[in-house]
Structure 1
C-alpha cells in the first residue's frame, strides 16, 4: 500500500475515532487546559484533517494546524477553507520565538524519533506563561476482552512494537519536567470505542501483528472472527488508556 493509500484509509478511521463516546469531551478538556485568551495563537501539531483547529477557532482562538502530510493538510483546507493549515514538522515549526500562546499535540509524540527535540521546539515557540497540552495513548496497554488472552497479549504487544515510541504517553510528564516546564499535571482518561469503530481498530491491530510475523494468518482470522461476533452481539470491549499532560512555559 502506498503512503497516499495509507492516508486515504486513515482519514475515515480518524473521523470515526473522533466520534466515539468521550472523544469530544477529551478534546474540549484539552482546549480548557490551554486556557487561551480570545485571539491568542494556538498551534495544533499533527492536526490531521483539522477538527481541533476548527473547534479551537470556533472558541475564539487564532488556531494554526501543522501536519507533516501535505495530503492531510489538503483535506483540512477542503473541510475548512478559512482555516490556517500548514505543512510542517514538529521539529521545525514556522513561528518566531515566543510567538504562540498555546501548543497542542494529540497522538503525535509516539510517532516521533526524537521527543526531546520536539518538546524543545514547543518551548521555543511558546511565550512565557504559554500553555502546552499533550494527549497520547499507551499502545502497550490496550484492554481487549477475548476468549484467548494469551493471543490477545501477543497481538497488542506486537502492534505496539511497530510504533516508534509506543509508551511515549506515560513519559510525557517527565519529558515536560526535563524541558523546564512548570505546573506539570497529568490526567488519565479512557477511550472506549464500540461497534464498527472497535472492529476497525481491532482489525488494524491484528493485521499489523500478522504482517510483523507475530501471529499466523489462521490466528488473526480466528481472533477477528471472535471480535466481530462480539461486536455483532454488543459484547465487544476495547479500552484505550489516554494520558493528558499539561504544563506552563
Structure 2
C-alpha cells in the first residue's frame, strides 16, 4: 500500500486473514440480533460484515480504502458497502450498533471518530470494538525505530500511523462524549503469522509501509530484514513469527434518552 487508505486487498485476504478470523470474538461480544441495523466501521474486505449479516442483522460496511471496498463488493454483492472516513461521516438513518475490528488504531483523531459513532447511533445503541491497545506490536515498532535511526537518521515517531491507547485513555474519551462504558479489556494476544520465515515480511509489507515511503524496493527489503534480525529472539519460535499484539476491546452504550445527533467538542 502507498498510504493507509490504499491497501492491497488481495494481500490482506491471503497473508493477513488472521485479522478477520480473530475478530469473530468481538461479534460474540456484540451479540447481533435479527433485524438490527449495524454499521461495520473499517470493514476491510467485508468478512466480518458478512458474519454480521449471517446473524440476520442488516449490516453495512464502511472503509476509507476504495481497494478494500471494491474487493468487499465483489466477495459479498448482497451487502451494502460504502467508502467513508470514520473521522468525518454522517448517516441517513441511525443504527442500532456500530462494530469495529482492527481499524480504530489507524484513526489518529479518536475524538472525531467517537463523535461520529455517537451521531450514527440510536439512543440505547451500542458501540463494540477491538483494536490495538497500549504496547501493541511494541517489539516491532521499537526495532523499526532503531533501524531507521541507525541507517537513515530518520525519527520513526513522526512516521508512526497508529494510535494505541490505554483503557483509561479510551474510556475517558467515550465517557466525555456521553457513552456509558460497560466493558473494557486490555489483553495480550501473541499472533502467529503464516509462511514460516516469511511471516514477518508479510506483516511489515502489509502494515508498516508508512515507515518506508520514498524508499526503493532494495532499501525497504534491507530495512525489513534488519527489523527481522532485531526481533528474531523475541518473536520467532517453533518455525514461525509471533507478533506481540496487545488488544483493547470495549463496549459502550449511548443512553436511551439521547437523540441520534449530538456532538460534544
**Normalization by structure 1: what TM-score?**
0.76
Unaligned runs of 5+ in 2: 150-154, 255-265
SS at match of 1:237: strand
> Are 2:93 and 1:93 equivalent residues in the alignment?
no
Partner of 1:73: 69
| C-alpha contact 1:11 1:49 (8 A) present in aligned 2 | no
Unaligned runs of 5+ in 1: none
Structure 2 counterpart of 1:45, from 34, 41, 44: 41
Q: CA deviation at 1:57?
A: 0.5
SS at match of 1:118: helix
Partner of 2:116: 121
Partner of 1:106: 101
User: Once the two structures are superposed, what CA deviation does each residue of 1:60-103 show, in whole Å capped at 9, x if it has no partner?
Assistant: 1111001222332111110011111112222223233xx21110
Structure 2 counterpart of 1:244, from 244, 249, 256: 249
- How does 1:1-249 map onto structure 2 within 5 Å? 6-7=6-7, 9-13=8-12, 15-19=14-18, 24=21, 26-90=22-86, 91-96=88-93, 99-138=94-133, 140-142=135-137, 144=139, 151=143, 154=146, 161-168=158-165, 170=167, 171-189=169-187, 190-196=189-195, 197-202=199-204, 209=211, 220-224=224-228, 234=239, 236-249=241-254
Question: Residues 29 and 141 from structure 1, CA distance in 2 versus in 1: closer, same or farther, beyond 3 angstroms?
Answer: closer
Aligned residues: 238
Q: CA deviation at 1:41?
A: 0.3
Mapped partners of 1:87, 1:93: distance in 2: 12
